[in-house]
Chain A
Amino acid sequence: MKVNGSLHAPPLDPRRLLSDHLRHDLGLTGTHVGCEHGVCGCCTVLLDGEPVRSCLMLAVQAEGHEVSTVEGLAAAGAPLHPVQQAFHECQGLQCGFCTPGFLMSVVGLLAQHPDPTPEQVEEGIAGNLCRCTGYASIRRAVHRAAELSGK
């Protein structure tokens, strides 16, 4: 499987979840694990460009596919990805635990709706929980991300 552009062998144990494979085998700890049953959205990654829950996939299932994690959004030292930049500008995070999942969901949302309506934004982030409840800033950040991505 390809992860952020580089090729990796899938794990030997088929019961390894994709989320655990990314974190424990590949050291990509930017993907956070909250609930491990698909509710919180923290572990969201892109599978062939579409946001999916990495805790609800076996890593072996990603073989032959392309996985993108939050680490792949911007290289170290490079300018932030527009979605990261927008979350930074709008204070779209407090403790930051949910942030990687939000970022990946929003990248997927903007690919589907480059100029989303407020309803589409709400629908698009409804599957991600922020326990600091910073949703107002997060909503603003998504609209700002759409602006920055459009430029």
Chain B
Amino acid sequence: MKPPRFEYHAPSTVEEACELLGSLEDAKVLAGGQSLIPLLNFRLAQPAHLVDINRLSGLDAIYERDGGVAVQALARQAAVEDSEVAARVCPLLTAAVRLVAHRVIRNRGTVCGSIAHADPASELPAVLLALGGHVIGRSARGDRIIDAGDLFKGVFETALEADELLVEAWFPASSGAFAIVEESRRHGDFALAGAVRALGRLALFGVAPTPVLADAANPGRGLQPSGDLEATPEFRLHLVRVLTERVFAA
């Protein structure tokens, strides 16, 4: 239960961070560390290099942009939870962040980190997908906008290139009816399944390798959720039906 050996880098500018990501083989970005460090402790991840971005300054803003709210790479989940801008422009984001683990974890964890980590059971990727938001990937080659629909490629896999740093996530305003609900075995634990309703769309999480958009009339169609000690595939499909009903009743 200790991290494996790695080479530690703590760049002080975004340019330096991008340069490192562009030149190092097998590097991982360390942001809040609330998912990555457990993976290191379990040795499920053994990257050769860690690029710690916590010393970059001016990368923790939460601000209004293009009719939505932009969250920069080092904005902690707790800061987003308390953000007046987020609550006004995208209250769905505020509601979703509150479902992420516990406050003590959110003090350190980042919104952009959750998205880049792309855990299939994670709330924030599903919220980004339901809202049709995007992220900005920065590298020495420049900035690239990646739409949520093109971002999530598989379990813990995104369309970000190895030399790209996710510097900002943009969530469109959650105007109209919205809701996020999930079912988990314990308060603050990973969701067995969850549903997000926003802008007339339905996104599901915890039931496929990535968050998925679904048809509210038949939300389980085409899904083949995996089974584990906590829930069978059949139970997850049952949850999809119940949670879909709940988000549309909310």
- Number of A residues contacting the other chain (C-beta, 8 Å)? 28
Contact across chains for B33 and A56 when beta carbons are under 8 A apart: yes
Residue from B40, B42, B105 in contact with A127 in the complex, judged by beta carbons closer than 8 Å = B105
Distance in angstroms from A45 CB to nearest chain B CB is 10
Binary contact readout B196-223 vs A (1 if CB under 8 angstroms, 0 otherwise)? 0000000000000000000000000000
Q: Which of B41, B52, B54, B104 sits near A37, CB closer than 8 Å?
A: B41
Q: Contacts of A37 on B, CB cut-off 8 Å?
A: 1, 38, 41-42
Considering only CB atoms, which chain B residue lies closest to A44 in the complex? Answer: B104
Contact A127 B188 (CB under 8 A): yes
User: Known interface pairs A38-B38, A56-B37, A56-B38. Does A14 touch B103 (Cβ–Cβ under 8 Å)?
Assistant: no
**CB atoms of B102 and A56 under 8 A apart:** no
Give, as a whole number of angstroms, the nearest-CB distance from B119 to chain A: 14
CA distance A17 to B54 in the complex (A): 16
Q: Which of chain B's residues have a CB closer than 8 A to the CB of A124? A: 103
A-B contact pairs, 6 of them (CB 8 A): A38-B105, A47-B107, A52-B107, A53-B108, A56-B38, A58-B33
Asked whether any CB of chain B lies closer than 8 Å to the CB of A30, the reply is no
Verify if A91 is at the interface (C-beta below 8 Å from B). no
Given contacts A51-B107, A108-B104, A127-B103, contact A56 B34 (CB under 8 A): yes
B8 at the A interface (CB under 8 A):
yes
In contact, A56 and B108 (Cβ under 8 angstroms) = yes
Bound-complex Cα distance A47 to B107 (A): 10
Residue of B nearest to A56 (CB): B37
Whether, in the assembled complex, B5 has its beta carbon less than 8 Å from a beta carbon of chain A, the answer is yes
Q: Is A36 an interface residue (CB 8 A)?
A: yes
Q: Which of B1-24 contact A (CB under 8 A)?
A: 1-8, 10
B102 and A60 contact, CB distance less than 8 A: no
The CA-CA distance from A36 to B40 in the complex, in Å, is 10
State A124–B178 Cα separation when bound (angstroms): 26
Flag whether A41 is at the interface (Cβ < 8 A): yes
**Which residues on A sit within 8 Å (CB–CB) of B54?**
61
**Of B34, B41, B187, which is within 8 A of A36 by CB?**
B41
Instruction: Tell whether, in the assembled complex, residue B107 and residue A55 are in contact, meaning their CB atoms are under 8 Å apart.
Output: no
Any A CB within 8 A of the CB of B140 = no
Residues of B close to A56: CB separation below 8 A: 33-34, 37-38, 105, 108
Report chain A residues within 8 Å CB of B7: 14
Query: A57–B37 contact, CB under 8 A?
Result: yes
Instruction: Identify which of A44, A53, A55 gathers the most chain B CB atoms within 10 Å of its CB.
Output: A53
Cα A50 to Cα B106 with chains together (Å): 11
Contact of A58 with B103 at beta-carbon distance under 8 Å, contacts A15-B3, A126-B187, A126-B188 already known: no
Interface flags for A27-46 (1: CB within 8 Å of B; 0: not) read 00000000011100100100
Tell me if A105 is interfacial: C-beta within 8 Å of chain B.
Answer: yes
Please tell me which one of the listed residues A14, A60, A127 contacts residue B104 in the complex, with CB atoms under 8 A apart. A127
Instruction: Digitize B48-61: 1 where CB-to-A-CB distance is under 8 Å, 0 elsewhere.
Output: 00101010000000
Measured between beta carbons, the chain B residues less than 8 angstroms from A36 are: 1-2, 38, 41
Instruction: State which of B5, B52, B107 has its C-beta within 8 Å of the C-beta of A15.
Output: B5
